[in-house]
Structure formats: C-alpha cells, structure tokens
Amino acid sequence: MNADFDLYRPSEEHEALREAIRDLANEQIAPFAAEVDDQARFPQEALDALTAADMHALHIPEEFGGNGADALAAAIVIEEVARVCASSSLIPAVNKLGSLPLMLTGSSALQAKYLTPLAAGEALFSYALSEPEAGSDAASMRTRAVRDGDEWVLNGVKRWITNAGVSQFYTVFATTDPDARSRGISAFVVEASDPGFSVGELEKKLGIKGSPTRELYFDNVRIPADRIIGDEGTGFKLALETLDHTRVTIAAQAVGIAQGALDYAAAYLQERKQFGKAIAEFQGLQFMLADMGMKLEAARQMTYAAAAKSERGDSDLTFFGAAAKCFASDVAMEITTDAVQLLGGYGYSREYPVERMMRDAKITQIYEGTNQVQRIVMARHLLGRG
C-alpha cells in the first residue's frame, strides 16, 4: 500500500483498510476492552484477531512475508484499535517500534531471521531503551555489552518495557564504549529464550493495564556477534531515528483514544435528558463538543502529515514526529477529560468507558519521550540546532 502522499490524504486503499480494521475492532476487540483493563491482563483476543487479519505487524516488507504497508496504513490500524482499546493498539505499535531498527540498519540475514516470524504472527517484538537511571537522558544508560570472541555479553537492567514478558524478541540498546557516551552505544537483538535473560514483575499502572510493562534483566546474557544491529557505536543514532518514525504511531494511538471518547460523549449527550430535553440541546455542551471535534481533527491531520513524512523520509520528520505526538497526546488528554465531564457522575464511574480512556490517554504524553522533551526537540529544529 503506497499512496501518493502529496496532500497527506488517505487513499481509497487506506479508507478500505480503515473500514476493515474498524469492523474487526468493534466486533472482536471492543467486547473485551473493559475486562482487559479491569483484570490487567494481556488482550489475547486482540492479538489473535489482529494476527488472523495480518494486521499485527503490517509494516513488515513483503519479502519477509509481511504486507509492506506504508506508515499511514500502520497509523490508521493503530488509531482504529485505540478507539476501542488502547492496550490492544500497542500490539501493532510496539511490533513496529521493536522491529524498525532492524528494518533501518539490520543486516539482511538478521532481517530475515527476525522479521519473518514477526510477519507470520509467531512472535512479538519489543524495544528496550529506558533504564532506571536513564529515561529522557538515554545516553546515560548503564547496560553493558562486551565483546568476547564470537559473542557479546550483556549485563544490566531495562525499565518500562512495553509488552515485556509476552514478546519473544527485544531490540536492546547497550553501551559498548562507556567513555564515548552516545557514540559508544550499540543495538542488539535479544531473544526471550537466551540464558541469563529474565523479566520482572508487572508494573501497576494508571492506564493501558492490558499491555504488560516490566523490567528486563541481563545477567551475562551471551548472544552471537551477528546479532548486533548495524555498526558498533551507531545505536544511539538508530534509537533516535527509530523514535522519529514511531512517535507517529503514538500520535495515532492518541487520536484513536480521543475519537473513542468523543464518539461516546456525543451519543450520550443525545440520549441523556434533563429539564425535559436532551442535554445535547444545551449550547454550553455543544460548544464543548465542537471544541473537542475541532482539536481532534487538527491532531488527526497533523498525524497523517507526519506519517507521510515518515514514509518519504523527509528531512523535517524529526520536527513533525515530535509535533504530532505532542499535540495529539495533549489533545487526547483534554478530550477524554472533557468526555468525563460531559457524562457527569457517570463519566467518573467504571461502568462507562470514558474514565478508562482518560486514564489510557495520560501515557501518550509520557512515553516515547515526554511532551516536555518533544518541545525541546521542536525548538532545536526551529533554531537550526537539530
């Protein structure tokens, strides 16, 4: 699916994809969303449905058995799944995040070995950059990788790793030359079955409870030397380049969450009656709804523009990726909070989905770089210091 992106507008193919994934999400994912959140369990139903429809990792190139879908198609799938269940939308989103480093600079042998089972639905892929003492300052990571003959030996801890424990493959960033700081970081593929690799307990989170978040532990994990992604010392640059592309997926997730909240609130306003008429007739609430819709559409268009730039590899992708993620997530937080307000006491109740959507929206302002960091990225670009 390779559309003309000049106008950042979805093609007929994209709209057909949207219709298909919306039907799938409504029928096979939405019915389990509240239960997944309540039980903080992995959304296996969503994984099964997405895999059966080849939508779990549709960004994988055709040569490895994937769909070869473009960045806008991936964003649409994530958006539509997030509309009903944010946790489930992290299946295609994190599969892209974890595997994109291989697609960008991995050897052909490494790509074939790991992208093929991912495309076939035989594995999930996670991304391991953050550490207990290295969040926004990722260059300060302490996880080490030391060359020992034909192997690398990894030791350290990674934190806040999405889908940890259910993923079979992990893109792991580790320092191979501590004195070189960011220029001494390299990227590797680690398998869940590698001796010395283990995961921690589930984090107890505010939202996206169905997507497991855990620490990763590396205790003398030995991996073959050819599992390095790209050249030694290029890992930090690769990590940032990856995030330039995948921040678009977080923007798409935020748009989807906001759309779900807006849809529910609009329907509620037309059903709920007070003072003898539907509360949708009250101008104050109409103004709130109008502002929600206006901001949501602005976020969607910015996200699609960023997706187009991601597909083309435009030089200003860093700015647009950061801007789309920052704006869309701020909008999602505002819209979901307003949706709770529009439902009044019902909005505060777990019997209605908007409180879950509000909790889920918060993380989009934090992960893949806080929105404060995104503003730094954008400012540096505008000042010519990117």
* β-strands 228-229, 185-191 pairing: antiparallel
**Backbone phi, psi, residue 11, to 5°:** -85, 180
Say yes or no to pLDDT of 215 above 90.
Answer: yes
- On average, the pLDDT of the chain sits at 96
Predicted confidence (pLDDT) per residue in 102-113, tens digit:
999 999 999 999
What tokens were used for 235?
């890992």
Alpha-carbon torsion (252, 255, 257, 260), positive or negative? negative
Residue 104 and residue 67: Cα distance in Å, rounded? 17
Give me the pLDDT at residue 10, please.
87
For residues 74-89, give the mean pLDDT. 98
Could you report the per-residue pLDDT of 90-102, keeping only the tens digit for each? 999 999 999 999 9
Q: Kindly name the residue from 80, 215, 241, 368 that is annotated as catalytic.
A: 368
Q: How confident is the model at residue 47 (pLDDT cuts 50, 70, 90)?
A: very high
Among this protein's residues, is 151 annotated catalytic?
no
| Pairing verdict, β 144-148 and 273-274 | unpaired
- For residue 300, the tally of other CB atoms under 10 A from its CB is 22
Please list the residues that pair with 144 across neighbouring strands.
Answer: 155, 175
Measured CA to CA, the distance from residue 377 to residue 372 in angstroms comes to 9
> Which domains are present in the chain?
12-119 (1.10.540.10), 125-235 (2.40.110.10), 237-382 (1.20.140.10)
Question: What pLDDT score was predicted for residue 8?
Answer: 61
Residues 6+ apart with CB under 8 A from 206: 359, 362, 363
SS (H, E, C) the chain: CCCCCCCCCCCHHHHHHHHHHHHHHHHHHHHHHHHHHHHCCCCHHHHHHHHHCCCCCCCCCHHHCCCCCCHHHHHHHHHHHHCCCHHHHHHHHHHHHHHHHHHHHCCHHHHHHHHHHHHCCCCCEEEECCECCECCCHHHCCCEEEEECCEEEEEEEEEEEECCCCCCEEEEEEECCHHHHHHHEEEEEEECCCCCEEECCCCCCCCCCCCCEEEEEEEEEEEEHHHEECCCCCHHHHHHHHHHHHHHHHHHHHHHHHHHHHHHHHHHHHHCEECCEEHHHCHHHHHHHHHHHHHHHHHHHHHHHHHHHHHHCCCCHHHHHHHHHHHHHHHHHHHHHHHHHHHHHHHHCCCCCHHHHHHHHHHHCCCCCCHHHHHHHHHHHHCCCC
- Residue-wise pLDDT for 338-377, tens only, equals 999 999 999 999 999 999 999 999 999 999 999 999 999 9
pLDDT digit string, tens, across residues 233-267? 999 999 999 999 999 999 999 999 999 999 999 99
Q: Can you tell me the mean pLDDT for 26-39?
A: 98
Torsion of CA 279, 280, 282, 283, to 10 degrees: 160
Q: Alpha-carbon distance 275 to 291, whole Å? A: 24
Position 259, amino acid: Q
**Strand partners of residue 155:** 144
Please give the single-letter amino acid code of residue 101: P
Cα 263 to Cα 1, 33, 156, 266, 280, distances in angstroms: 28, 16, 44, 5, 13
- Predicted confidence (pLDDT) at residue 4 exceeds the cutoff of 50: no
pLDDT (0 to 100) of residue 2: 43
Q: In the predicted model, is pLDDT for residue 5 greater than 60?
A: no
Residue type, 267: A
Average pLDDT of 173-183? 96
pLDDT tier at 386, thresholds 50, 70, 90:
low
